[in-house]
């Protein structure tokens, strides 16, 4: 299928490269089909390009590249939506967004709503967590605290 995108121009997407989010994403519930584009094979960063809304593209990243690990439990409905994947078949990704504070802009990850993608079934969901209790470990500190 050919898609005219805002960022990448006209791209060809093979059917086996389509990832379906049956419930859509927060604020984009009608955009259900996406593909992943990785411009730099060395980075853990991808563009999640919508096939339903060609102007919609989200930057996503493997949380481990930011030093973050998730321990998530899926509900029965979430497991069913992802077709009961093995843990090794699921990629967890964070959506990055631009944030402006005091006139300075930066990129921040959305820690409370990671994306879960069953890589074999090509199905995904956004897990919005009502309560979020991070277990953060800092590494590479320059001096002892």
The string of DSSP letters for 67-112 reads: T--------HHHHHHTTS--GGGEEEEEEEEEEEETTEEEEEE-TT
Q: Share the mean pLDDT of the chain.
A: 86
Determine the structural domain holding residue 49 and report its residue range: 2-126
Using pLDDT thresholds of 50, 70 and 90, give the confidence band for residue 140: low
Answer yes or no: is 131 within a domain. no
This prediction has a pTM of 0.82
Query: For the domain that residue 82 is a member of, what is the CATH number?
Result: 2.30.290.10
Answer yes or no: is 137 within a domain. no
| Whole-number pLDDT of residue 145 | 47
Distance between CA atoms of 138 and 12, rounded to whole angstroms?
41
């Amino acid at each position: 299928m050919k898609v005219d995108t805002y960022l990448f121009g006209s791209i060809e997407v093979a059917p086996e490269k389509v990832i379906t989010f049956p419930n859509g994403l927060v604020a984009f519930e009608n955009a259900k089909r996406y593909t992943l584009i990785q411009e730099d094979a060395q980075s853990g960063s991808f563009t999640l390009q919508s096939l339903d809304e060609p102007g919609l593209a989200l930057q996503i990243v493997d949380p481990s590249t930011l030093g973050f690990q998730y321990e998530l439990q899926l509900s029965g409905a979430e497991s069913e939506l992802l077709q009961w994947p093995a843990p090794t078949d699921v990629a967890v990704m964070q959506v990055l967004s631009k944030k402006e504070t005091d006139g300075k802009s930066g990129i921040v990850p959305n820690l409370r709503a990671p994306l879960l993608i069953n890589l074999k079934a090509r199905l995904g969901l956004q897990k919005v967590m009502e309560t979020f209790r991070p277990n953060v470990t800092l590494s590479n500190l320059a001096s002892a605290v």
